[in-house]
Structure 1
Amino acid sequence: MNPPELLGVLAESFAGTDACRTLPMRLCAACVDTFGAQGGALTVLAGPGDQVAVSTPGEYEQLEPLQEVLGEGPVPRAIGEDRLVALCLGDVVDEYPVFSHLAGSVSGDATAEATLYAVPMRVSPRVVGALSVYVTGDLAARAPDLQLVADAVGTILLRRTTLGDWSEKASFHQATGMVAAEFGIRPDDASAMIRAHAFARSTSLLEVADDVLARRRFPGDG
């Protein structure tokens, strides 16, 4: 499939998504449909040591926040090394031992048969995030197609999204600021503390951020 045809398929898939959903969610769903995947996610860098993601609902949706909390997995590697990264979710690998060990228990037995493809989203020479797709087939031969779609989606996201399109972004940044002020530390260190608490509590970054903002738990954890 040549680039115009592929982008035409993406556009057709996008047109079939729910117009009431946010642009990132619609683009994510369109990518999943374009590649016949069983799940997917879009992750965008939001600052030093910070990122925000949306995922399609289903058995794979917890794997994106798990990588974010752990700081390891195909998505961080794809972003950091600017290359496509694939992982069979049934394997435990040395590159990301904790994530690969936990992936099956987080999302169930079905993940063992799936492969996660993480593709950097590039806008000009800069990597701005990653597209993730979870498939039970083999997309290795379609690496150029994955890269083309990832770059197109990254460009659209940077040009057209607003703060309100990313449900977790505002509260996470506010919570980071509160923790930084409370402990007198840098924002990236405050972000790391929030991630550590999320991992220790086996919960999401959004839940920890909401607790911080509501002053229910952490800082202090009294």
Structure 2
Amino acid sequence: MADDIDPLRVSTDPEEFPATAALTRAAVDVAGVDGGAVSLLVDGAVARDLLYATDSDAVRIDELQFTVGEGPCLDAFNTDTTIAIPDLTDPAGTHRWPTFASDVVAELGAHSLMAVPITAHGAAVGVLELHRRTPGPYSLTQVEAARAIATALGPVILSELVPLGPSRTPSPGPPAGNYRMARGDINVAIGMLSTRLSVPINDAAASLRAHAYARSTSISSIAHDIVNRTTDFDFDD
């Protein structure tokens, strides 16, 4: 189990986004799974953050997708399609993200995943991610129930991220107000690395991802330390 959760803020606290948390837990119940999370994606999935997770395994599953740059969450968001994987050890169903699938099984013992896109006002805003330890197909009832909750999550997410005044209407996009993306330091850290290593931005981003993956540490945790200069990481090793 991955207990090394980001020191910044990964919301496993239902009091922070209570309606989002309640719907996520409801999805876990109706889909017959062991845990779930709601990931916010904006700017074509370039910017991502985790709004709420029921447990540390759900946090790690989301973080692994963010780190390796592949997984059902990204595919569900980009294709606006529900993706249900009954067995992560079956190459036929995981050929698009073999590294992610093998890591989830080996590290967490989760064998089945479902990713359901979340939309609001016609725009994609995130993904409902569900995981189960035992392999096996999801029933049509479970999939439809998860989809119904994902549909309800869209406007709920916007209302909790951006409190609405009497003359305001929600619009999809990067959240405003007091909410701060837990992964907000990553772009800053990449820029710092680009300067430090004298490499292009894309190479700096790849270096950061590789560093996090090799050490089984979240990208956001490393980025936070780089930006705040609390640790001098050697990216040349």
TM-score band, normalised by the shorter chain? Answer: 0.7 to 0.9
Q: TM-score w.r.t. structure 2 length?
A: 0.69
The 1:94/1:63 distance shift into structure 2, 3 A limit, reads same
**Amino acid in structure 2 at the alignment position of 1:157:** I
Gaps of 5+ in 2: 1-11, 163-174
Structure 1 residue runs of 5 or longer lacking an equivalent are 1-16
- The answer to whether the 8 Å contact 1:175/1:212 transfers is yes
Higher RCO structure (Cα 8 Å, ≥6 apart):
2
Shift of 1:169: 3.4
Task: Name the residue aligned to 1:141.
Answer: 140
Amino acid at match of 2:115: A
1:96-126 per-residue CA deviation (whole Å, 9 max, x = no partner) reads 1111121111103xx23xx211001011322
Structure with the largest fraction of helix: 1
The answer to whether the Cα contact below 8 Å between 2:39 and 2:128 also exists between their aligned partners in 1 is yes
- Asked whether the equivalents of residues 18 and 26 of structure 1 are also in contact (C-alpha less than 8 Å), the reply is no
CA change 1:25–1:174 in 2 (3 A) is: farther
Give 1:84's aligned residue: 82
Give the Cα–Cα distance (whole angstroms) in 2 for the partners of residues 19 and 100 of structure 1: 28
| CA distance in structure 2 between the aligned counterparts of 1:94 and 1:19, rounded to whole angstroms | 35
The yes-or-no answer on 1:100 pairing with 2:95 is: no
The 1:177–1:152 alpha-carbon spacing in structure 2 relative to 1, beyond 3 Å, is farther
Runs of 4+ in 1 over 4 A off after TM superposition: 24-27, 162-167, 176-186, 188-193, 218-222
- Aligned 8 A contact 1:22 1:165 in 2: no
Other structure's SS at 1:95 match: coil
Contact 1:212-1:219 at 8 Å conserved across structures: no
Tell me the alpha carbon deviations over residues 23-61 of structure 1, each in whole angstroms, 9 at most, x when there is no partner.
Answer: 454543343234342100111114352211142214443
Matched, 1:42 2:28: no
Sequence identity of aligned pairs in percent? 29
CA distance in 2, matches of 1:46, 1:191: 18
Counterparts of 1:141 and 1:95, CA distance in 2: 24
CA RMSD of aligned residues (A): 3.1
